[in-house]
Chain A
Amino acid sequence: MCAMRLTGYADKFGVHPGDTIKFYVNCDGPAEFKAEIVQMINGDTNPRGPGFIEKPVAADANGTYKGRKQIIHGGSYGYVEDAPQFHVDSFTLQCHIWPTTPKTHPRYWKHGAQGLVTKWMDGKGYGLFINEDGFLEFRINEHKITTGVPVRDHAWHFVAASFDAATGEAVLYHEPLIVYALDPVIEPVKATIDTKVVHTAAPVALAAYVETINDDPLGKSSLPAGVWFTGKYNGKIDSPRIVKKALTRFEIEQMKGGAQPGLTERRNSGPTGELSALIVAAWDFWDGISTIVAKDNGPYRFDATLVNCPTRALTGYNWVGENFDWKYAKKEYGAIHFHDDDVDNARWEADVEWSVPEQIKSRFYAMKLTTRDGDEDYIPFWIVPKIGKEQSKIAVMVPTISYMAYANEHVACNAGGAELFVYRVPIMQHQNMFLAEHREYGGSIYDTHTDGSGICLSSRLRPILSIRPKYDHFLAQAPWQYPADLHLIYWLETMGYEYDVITDEDVTYDGLARLENYNVIITGSHPEHNSGTQLDALHNYTQRGGRLMYMGADAWYWVHSYHPAYDDLGRGVVTEMRRCESGIRTWRAEPGEYYHQGTGELGGMWRFRGRSLYSVAGVGMTNEGFDISTYYSRTPDSLDPRVAWAFEGISYDEPIGNFGLVGGGCAGLELDIVDVTLGSPPHTLAVATSAGRHTEAYLLVMEDFGFNQQGLDGTVHPRVRGDIAFHETPNGGACFAFSSIAFCGSLPWNECRNNVSTLVKNVLDRFSADGPLPPVPVEAIKHRGRADYESPALGVTT
């Protein structure tokens, strides 16, 4: 109904002058498309603002290209190429499963049988499946045997199947690990089948099966190319085995232990030597959790390639609830959760390449794609100077990890509009409509998978339709993230500043070197998701005299790490985040599943790793609401000579930012405040506040209270507000925090002639000047406590 026929992505977010960037385009229908490099100035189409603005860029890549359809083969699975050892006559298949959608709605996007352990294609081969009725099914060639019993979702089951070629006896076992009082007993199902297994070139598939192998151009983006997998399974699989004999039930029990290489009198236990000799493959998913390889510890080392990055570091069938970090109890973490909408890489073929000239400004750019029929898409990217070749004294740090966290977000559709927190009926853009149908484009870290489990991984090697200009987000009914950050870019351009652009990736990998040659770093409107080395770099920068302008709110909140298994494809390809014990969470990680699979670090909020969000720029997020915004008022702190310069041209009583393109005011969506008990430096000045003006849609964050009670909203709670804050850092550095996601939306108002613009200009002019900031008045240097003044926590309660 709202088909997007043009979609695309690039191999890089940030590209250096002199380097090449590749663009991958799906042009589904039109014979050709036009590609043009543009500089992005403003992405907001709101008629009350400056309107959409882009600037053409002369580039040798500009031109008309032949269009072709390219598709994403979404859904995760493991595969092992065909090998003679898999060409068995008699065999046993076994594994533990924890299915999440054993039975799907007939209209579900991938309704049908799901593969568990299969070497089956087009009625030839063998495999263990869950069929479309949600029953366990054993396939041998065209023969199907089923228990006829629904497999309970979100429960561990042991499943196995054996076939004896000599007798034709096939046995199918379905053994739930938990049996409730009224559950009928599930007896093994036996059948006699007069057949000989027909072997094909199909790979062994874990959590899928092979539909066909052909040279259709659309199959090129599958892995392996040309092999079309289907029947993508939703749920966990633990310790799958293939054995070349029809085992007895007792032998199957022994085989659960898997291969025990190097069996001696002193080490290991497991199947007998005789039984071990029958192993074709015994995958131990606990081995190599930080990789995208499923290790086969059997004799043939049939390691499975994991495609589309299924979730690992998850509790297995044998987790006992005493160890919570997989690194110290790997064998209890032998589960991989496969999802039919996982995607790690679209694997498209490049259509356009651009060698970026050496002499070009570091800015926001995009590849603009159009057709004669009116199709349009933009692929944003950023030209980032090489270290040592900085072009400006000002750098904008583009929050690309946060963009990835929100990539292809589905909440408006999945979550019934999440209306309780947006406080209105949400608006879906055509990008949302496309994604609602094309789940293979993957979701965001705010979403749940199609099976309802949380999404904790996000790749940038796919079209990300939320990182687009002309895109209003349902959360704001206005620009959010990328297009909202363009409000800042429009302001910098209009005010005539020279600025460089760097990304989260650059700061994560390069550390201080990426920052130290700038006088000031300006953030985006919502840099919520951050790697540890990025926070280290910002700390090292501000401690050495660097200046930080924090233009938004709800930053430095979640722990992120780039998955190291993708480093060979470039920087920051896949980011991981777990929604752990607290924080604003659209889903919640399960017990024992708080540690990242890629780096092994504890996920969740930086706050709960002892790294207070307040410590980065002096403020921290306390509340959010998504209906409308309001304005700031100056406080007496703003008169302090340490900061009064920032308010030149702004009278004490005037409302600051009671206008804007995000919520109608500069204080809105998510807001930060000063709190010296949570990490704001003791000398932080709270120079303006929006206290008392927020609607009841604005609610206190849950990490700030321990007991549910009335009175948590903006009409009554004192912490539901935003505070603009300033503090000095050593060696002439400083941080200015504007503490509201909506803030940048007020900058373009009235062609940038407004008091928000005045305030930001005053700060930027001072922060971007060479050398340390002017010394503070001598009386400002004094001993300050943190909570030794009047405080409810410490005060006398009589």
Chain B
Amino acid sequence: MIPIPKKGTPAREAMIKQHRECVDSMKGVAGFSVLKCETPGDTTVVTGGVHENPDLRRVLLRMRGESPKGKLVVICTKVDAEWRIGRLSGIRGVPPKFVDDQVYADEQEIQHAIFLMRLDELPETAGMPENFHEGWKHRDDNWPVT
């Protein structure tokens, strides 16, 4: 597995920069991917991002495969105008809670904010034997979908 890059390392800074460029270029697209639109807001030609940066791709996959409990999610608080970051409870019937008061005015911008938070929250050895827990024995990861 690719380790989650440590704070302050050039690898991490490079990943953040690539992610940032992709997010900026996707503003205005009715969808989102960590790819760079050649013309901002236009998906005719997309390059970079997960297609050309294998480490970024794998780190994102690892983040996406994390268990629902405590997972960060976007909550739209005003249709097509305002978004905030929430955290899933992992318990059926208990809705997500906002993590802070920050309101985002762009639905893509928040993708980058969550990427940065996850880089900080995930240990370098996430998914490796050092982090073994009982959940591994009953599919508590997010790969089976539901």
Out of A46, A437, A472, A696, name the residue touching B94 (CB < 8 Å): A437
Q: How far is the CB of A198 from chain B (nearest CB, A)?
A: 33
Q: Which of A416, A418, A426, A476 has the largest number of chain B CB atoms within 10 A?
A: A416
Q: Complex: how many Å from CA A477 to CA B30?
A: 6
Q: Report B104-131 CB contacts with A as 1/0, cut-off 8 Å.
A: 0001001100100000000000000000
Are the CB atoms of A105 and B91 closer together than 8 Å? yes
Contact of B43 among A108, A425, A664 (CB under 8 A): A664
Are B89 and A414 interface neighbours, CB within 8 A? Answer: no
Q: Are B43 and A696 in contact (CB under 8 A)?
A: no
CA distance A424 to B64 in the complex (A): 8
Residue A586 at the chain B interface, CB threshold 8 Å? yes
**Alpha-carbon gap, A423 to B69, bound state (A):** 19
- Inter-chain CA distance A419–B50, complex, in Å, is 14
Count of A-B contacts judged by CB separation below 8 Å: 184
Query: Pick the contact of B33 from A2, A421, A424, A662 — CB < 8 Å?
Result: A424
Give A630-685 interface residues, CB cut-off 8 Å to B.
Answer: 630-631, 655, 658-665, 668
Q: Are B44 and A655 in contact (CB under 8 A)?
A: yes
In whole Å, how far is A171's beta carbon from the nearest beta carbon of chain B? 33
Residue from the list B32, B83, B92 in contact with A109, Cβ < 8 A: B92
B79 within 8 A of A: yes
Chain A residue nearest to B143 in the complex (CB): A420
Most chain B CB within 10 A, of A411, A428, A697, A715, is at: A428
Q: Counting CB contacts under 8 A, is A448 at the interface?
A: yes
Q: Give A470 to B80 CA distance when docked, in angstroms.
A: 9
Please report the C-alpha to C-alpha distance between residue A695 and residue B32 in the assembled complex, in whole angstroms.
11
Bound-complex Cα distance A107 to B63 (A): 26
Contacts of B72 in A (CB 8 A): 425
Answer whether residue B2 sits at the interface, using C-beta atoms and an 8 A cutoff: no
CB neighbours (8 Å) of A107 from chain B are: 89, 91, 94
Question: How many interface residues does B have (CB within 8 Å)?
Answer: 53
In B26-81, the 8 Å CB interface with A consists of 26, 28-35, 41-44, 46, 50-51, 57, 61, 63-68, 71-77, 79-80
Q: What 0/1 readout, one digit per residue, does chain A (392-426) give for beta carbons within 8 Å of chain B?
A: 00000000000000000001111111111101111
Cβ-based interface call for A325 (8 A): no
Q: Is there a chain B Cβ closer than 8 Å to A315's Cβ?
A: no
Query: Which residues of chain A are within 8 angstroms of B7 by Cβ–Cβ distance?
Result: none
B5 CB within 8 Å of chain A = no
Contacts of B71 in A (CB 8 A): 416-417
Q: Are B30 and A660 in contact (CB under 8 A)?
A: yes
Contacts of B114 in A (CB 8 A): 425
A301 at the interface (CB under 8 A from B): no
Q: Is B8 an interface residue (CB 8 A)?
A: no
- Can you list, as one digit per residue, whether each of A432-454 has a CB less than 8 Å from chain B (1) or not (0)? 01001101000000111010101
Closest 4 CB pairs of A and B: A109-B93, A416-B68, A627-B33, A419-B64
A-B contact pairs, 19 of them (CB 8 A): A1-B95, A46-B30, A341-B92, A411-B146, A425-B111, A425-B114, A427-B75, A427-B107, A429-B76, A430-B77, A433-B75, A433-B95, A436-B95, A478-B31, A586-B145, A626-B31, A628-B32, A655-B44, A661-B30
